[in-house]
Amino acid sequence: MKLRTNNLLPLLIVLFLAGLTLWLRFAVEQTSPGARASSHEADAIVENLKIVQYGVSGTPAYTMSARRMVHYPDGESAELELPHFEKRGADGATMSVTARHARISQDAGDARFSGDVLLRREATADRPAMLARTEYLHVMAARDLLRTDRPVTITEGNTVFSGIGMELNRATRQFTLLSQVRGTYDAIKRK
């Protein structure tokens, strides 16, 4: 059997198309959404963000706002610039947290604030306003729990405490300083 050039041309075209198909398959697999999600690249950027989580009664349970949010699909998290978190407690007092940065979970119920963190609770009829300053604060909104393992200073009226590490439970209205506690306690005068 003699091989002719006119029979070789269709065979070369078929081989070329098979190679092109194989190359396209590998190229598409490497740029698929699953492959891209493994890298830490932003998939959304939002300016002037405001998130409102509503409770069962239809009233806002908490709000989260920020100058800028960058969302990353690999960990279903977002990074916030100049975040502001606010939640109204059962006692009616509003608690707010501000910072330079925050990383929030997908549902915004778990937030980690960093850089010049300021925690503020409004005054109530029986308690003065409270301020807490630290460099890091973990807020678990659904559990009404706030934690830090960094130095913290808490001021409530004329009472001032400082220490390293804090846990604040808003449901029980208790806070615990974990170590190196120092402070001045000003007893509330009862009428």
- Prediction pTM value: 0.71
Residue labelled with tokens 């963190």: 117
Please report whether residue 103 resides in a domain.
yes
Q: With bands split at pLDDT 50, 70 and 90, how would you rate the model's confidence at 163?
A: very high
Q: Could you tell me the residue range of the domain that residue 108 belongs to? A: 40-184
Please choose, from the candidates 180, 148, 181, 182, the residue with its C-alpha nearest in 3D space to the C-alpha of residue 165.
148
pLDDT in tens, 99-156: 999 998 876 668 899 999 999 989 888 888 999 999 999 988 778 889 999 999 999 9
pLDDT at residue 35 in the model: 47
Please report whether residue 76 resides in a domain.
yes
pLDDT in tens, 65-92: 999 988 887 767 789 999 998 888 776 7
Residues 24 and 85 in one domain: no
Instruction: Give whole-number Cα distances, 141 to 4, 42, 78, 95, in Å.
Output: 78, 25, 16, 11
Residues 88 and 18 in one domain: no
